[in-house]
Amino acid sequence: MPLPIVTAWLHFIKNCMETHIREKQEQFLDLIEPHKAGLLRFCRALSNDGDTAKDLASETIHVTYERFESLQNKAVIKSDLYTIASRLARTRRNA
C-alpha cells in the first residue's frame, strides 16, 4: 500500500477513536452530573474530612469512568457511584 493511503487511513482511525472517546466522556458527565453534590456529601460522611472527601469523590468518579463501558445498566449509575465510594473508603481505612 502506498504511504499516503496508509497515512490517510491512520488519520481516519485516529479521528474515529477521538470522536468515540469524546462521546463517551459527554455521556458519562451527563449521567453523573445530577449525583455529584450528593456523592460529595456521602464522601464527607464516610471520611469526616473535607479534603479527604473531595479526594474520595474524585477517585470514585475516576474508577466509575474506567468501568463505564462495562456497566450493564447505566440508568443505575447513582448506586454504582455510592457502592464504589463505600468500597474505596473501606479500602482506605483498612490500609
Q: What is the pLDDT of residues 43-64, one digit of tens each?
A: 999 998 889 999 999 999 999 9
Residue with cell 488519520: 11
- CA Rg, the chain, in Å? 18
DSSP structural state of residue 49: S
**Which is more confidently placed, 10 or 54?**
54
- pLDDT band of 14, cuts 50, 70, 90: confident
Q: What is the pLDDT of residues 53-92, one digit of tens each?
A: 999 999 999 999 998 888 777 778 999 999 999 999 999 8
Residue 4 exposed, middle or buried by CB count within 10 Å (0-12, 13-18, 19+): exposed
Q: Check: CB of residue 60 under 8 Å from CB of residue 84.
A: yes
Q: Check: CB of residue 85 under 8 Å from CB of residue 56.
A: yes
- Per-residue pLDDT, 2: 58
